[in-house]
Structure 1
Amino acid sequence: MNEWRRVALRHVSTHIKDGTHGTHRRVESGIPLLSAKNVGRRGRLEWDKSDDLISESDYAALTSTFAPKAGDLLLTVVGSIGRSAVFDGSRVAFQRSVAFVRSSDAVLPCYLFQASCSEDFSRQLERRCNVTAQAGLYLGELAKISIPLPPKQQQQKIATILTSIDTAIEKTEALIAKYEQIKAGLMHDLFTRGVLPNGQPRPPREQAPDLYQETAIGWIPRGWTLQRLDNVADVIDPNPSHRNPIYHPAGFPFISTVEFIESDEVETNTPRRVVEEIVEEQERRCQFTRSSIGFSRKGTIGEIRFLPVGIRFALLDSLCVINPKTISASYLFHSLRSDCLTRQSKNMTMGQALPQVSIGRVRDLLVPTPDSSEQIFIENRFDAVMTAIKKQSANEKKLRQQKIGLMQDLLTGKVEVKLNKEPTGFADG
């Protein structure tokens, strides 16, 4: 640690520049003109056909005196401040919302990138920002940002360790994306075609029209029935009086769609908490079970979660409770996300400032319902994919927490880096 120094960017860089401040004519075929939105959270540039293009002559003029090169640190300095990436040398131009920091021989680009992702670096950026209608950071202020600077061998080792966990996170994200695609495919196929006794989906209606029937909500497999939601489940307003609850800081969780978080979880550490009287009243009215589903009928229509088990809570009246009776809870949960149910919810929505669906209209939703054995097969297919998504999401969260801890330890010198030791492997699934 004695060899570590803290240095400003201006002392470990040869150039600190930003993109063009000028206005350039957009063309149909040319060079991508990128901005802060193209600096992705994975430390890479991301762009597509929707991005603006400028002419070859404008590009030549912009890069005649200075052009970013591979290895430069890209940093967003207007609007969303502080996202960073290592430039890959692509033939692109940048607007002024992106700055470039070119490393001197004193610092490795891979280490500088990891240092720019630290909480300490972000805090310094925030302090030096010009906070106006649109936040911005002057290059002179950027040059004053400091980083911890160990010897280059240690820089390389630290960057290697942190990059390895970045790679594990990317692999996990790719797995989650893959499972999400599988889920989307299942959502389409299983709720439009269902499954045959052999476990295979029915052929499409175009190939086997005799296997399908036309209904009020469109074509569904023959043998399925349309059931009103209130025929297969109790739909309950947790607070029919709509009176304001009594809040208490030491009370019980008060849940709305704000608490509907990723991986189909419900956050129970809520900022708003209510007295036990409200909880008891809703428990009597709603008869919560592990199969109870919360359905959003105000604001964001149709968002759903299974409600928490093993903890007492109350619900905002923007949610209603669906307690399955004669239908598989898991099948109903997934069907509420199908196209045919979400279309019905959308068509029933009233109001513009605050979109909402009445309890009566929620009860009127028509649920395509196969027999119990087909319901179980469909729910098992979905549950397997959802379990895989939850597992990988938990793994991603764990990896991100590991990286935060490693950055705190390695970029401060709190934990000494062993130069002769191979980097730790990180689980990616």
Structure 2
Amino acid sequence: MIKTEEMEKLPEGWKRVRFKDYVYFQEGPGLTSDLFEGKEEGIPFLNIRCIQENRILKEKLQYIDEKIVGKHFRHFLLEENDLVVSSSGTLGRCIFIKKENLPLLLNTSIIRMRPLNHALDRMYLKYYIESEYFQKGIYRLSTGSAQSNYGPSHLKKIYIFLPPLPEQQKIAEILETVDNVIEKTDAIIEKYKRIKQGLMQDLLTRGIVMNYELGIMNYGSELRKHESGIMNDELGVGSHESEIGNWELRDERKHKFKDSLLGKIPEEWEVVSLGDIGKIITGSTPPTLNSEYYGDHYLFISPEDITDSRFIGDSQKKLSESGFKISRPIPPNSICTVCIGSTIGKVGMTTSICTTNQQINSIVPDTDICNPDALFYLVLFYSQTPLKQEAGLQAVPIVNKSRFSRIQIPLPPLPEQQRIASILSQVDEVIEKEQKYKEKLERIKRGLMEDLLTGRIRVNSLIEHGYIENGK
């Protein structure tokens, strides 16, 4: 029997109970590849890669013939309100099954759960599964060297803390309220990412011209504004007013374009190689066995440190003064591109003097001809296809410095680069603001879970102190 982390004294009215006495659970079957390979219709089955951000990704579902499911796997068909939980790799990822998800088959690495009786609230169960206490207990019991796994035999050894039902429901209600705000924030982030993608497609292929005769924006409909001041409708072709003044996208009916190796581009633009617009620096790694090279002075950027954000603000590892001296320094406003490995094509921008490992090629832009912010967007937009073509079918994708230097991008005149960068930066600022707000909400949720699911803070106490209203 496992020894779980236990409070010295349970809050009044709480019980410590066996998980198996209050929760029904069933692990999915092991499905062999011959059952689903090449199948594009039938009954879909669920696995861990299909669950993301509280959603089921339909495009990642695979299918099994309906007759085979009826004959051999019928008792593994999921039902509405089943809580499905990942039991391999990323443990504890969970989601409720909705009516629109059905029919759907359970698969190995996924366990379905539901309360055995009305003494356990299903939303409370979900949040307890997500809690640090449950996760720690499962990780201690899980097996597997390459990745952690657990199953019904482990769940039979688990205990959970169970408050009275009304308190369970209030705890779940509070946490669900935070989740709803997180979900809405996610929707805003995704919306602005779509806006950004559309803008990049237009601005980085057609460019913009200033139109000093424009007095208003013309989209064919009135636009609302986000609280940040950025337009929150998907931007289309037309004329726009922003912090840089009145501008409009080039139009082949009114402006001149020319053929190039990259397709049609505005007549004023030219095609250049990355090596022509800045210095290319390939990173290196100081000997890892010498601890004196590592410390907390300088960022040591690896692919994991380059995220969806434009700026690279931190790194998992850092170098000492001595480690930095034997490395290749990268100045601020350089463009880092991953050129080795499965994440080839990730792009980020430095904010301080730093260094990178050998998987990254960095461009130190010549600011006489190139705006660093514009270059970031140009590299992000134009490098993906050539990088994958250069890497070819190698087991480990690699694009070396010389091949990276030859990648071509279009280059607008410097003033136009600055205008393009200004527009895209405004959208990025909204995305980054919303991402920081989401991170704050997630910290709040973790704190609430730690306090409420252990009874450290009682719901009644929150009501008494005015943090939440009674009955709301």
Normalised by the length of structure 1, the TM-score is 0.82
Question: CA separation of 1:67/1:323 partners in 2, compared to 1, >3 Å: closer, same or farther?
Answer: closer
CA contact (8 A) 2:28 2:111 kept: yes
Deviation by residue 1:376-399 (Cα, 9 ceiling, x = unmatched):
221111101111111111111111
Tell me if 1:196 matches 2:201.
Answer: no
Alpha-carbon distance in structure 2 between the residues aligned to 1:410 and 1:210: 63
Partner residue of 2:312?
266
Alpha-carbon distance in structure 2 between the residues aligned to 1:308 and 1:154: 48
Partner residue of 2:65?
54
Question: CA separation of 1:86/1:353 partners in 2, compared to 1, >3 Å: closer, same or farther?
Answer: closer
Alpha-carbon distance in structure 1 between the residues aligned to 2:467 and 2:363: 50
Tell me if 1:328 matches 2:374.
Answer: no
| SS class of match (1:261) | coil
Tell me if 1:211 matches 2:256.
Answer: yes
**Unaligned stretches of 5+ in structure 2?**
1-10, 212-246
Q: Mapping of 1:163-242 within 5 angstroms? A: 163-198=176-211, 199-203=247-251, 208=253, 211-236=256-281
1:404 to 439, 446, 450: 446
> How far 1:152 sits from its partner (Å)?
0.8
Tell me if 1:83 matches 2:93.
Answer: yes
Partner residue of 2:355?
314
Alpha-carbon distance in structure 2 between the residues aligned to 1:99 and 1:109: 15
2:150 to 119, 133, 137: 137
Q: Mapping of 1:67-78 within 5 angstroms? A: 68-78=78-88
Deviation by residue 1:95-126 (Cα, 9 ceiling, x = unmatched):
34332332112111111111111111112222
Q: Amino acid of the residue matched to residue 315 of structure 1? A: T
Q: Amino acid of the residue matched to residue 320 of structure 1? A: S
2:421 to 369, 379, 382: 379
Alignment root-mean-square deviation, CA: 3.5
Alpha-carbon distance in structure 2 between the residues aligned to 1:298 and 1:178: 31
> How far 1:57 sits from its partner (Å)?
7.6
> How far 1:413 sits from its partner (Å)?
0.5
Alpha-carbon distance in structure 2 between the residues aligned to 1:134 and 1:257: 21
Tell me if 1:416 matches 2:429.
Answer: no
Alpha-carbon distance in structure 1 between the residues aligned to 2:167 and 2:255: 70
Alpha-carbon distance in structure 2 between the residues aligned to 1:30 and 1:259: 41
2:26 to 14, 17, 29: 17
Question: CA separation of 1:10/1:228 partners in 2, compared to 1, >3 Å: closer, same or farther?
Answer: closer
Q: Mapping of 1:329-408 within 5 angstroms? A: 329-339=372-382, 341-349=383-391, 352=394, 355-408=397-450
CA contact (8 A) 1:331 1:376 kept: yes
**Unaligned stretches of 5+ in structure 1?**
none
| SS class of match (1:105) | coil
State how many pairs are aligned.
Answer: 410
Question: CA separation of 1:380/1:113 partners in 2, compared to 1, >3 Å: closer, same or farther?
Answer: same
Alpha-carbon distance in structure 2 between the residues aligned to 1:382 and 1:389: 11
Question: CA separation of 1:342/1:269 partners in 2, compared to 1, >3 Å: closer, same or farther?
Answer: closer
Alpha-carbon distance in structure 2 between the residues aligned to 1:244 and 1:252: 17
Alpha-carbon distance in structure 1 between the residues aligned to 2:283 and 2:378: 22
Partner residue of 1:31?
43
- How many percent of aligned residue pairs carry the same amino acid? 26
Highest relative contact order (Cα 8 Å, sep 6+), 1 or 2? Answer: 1
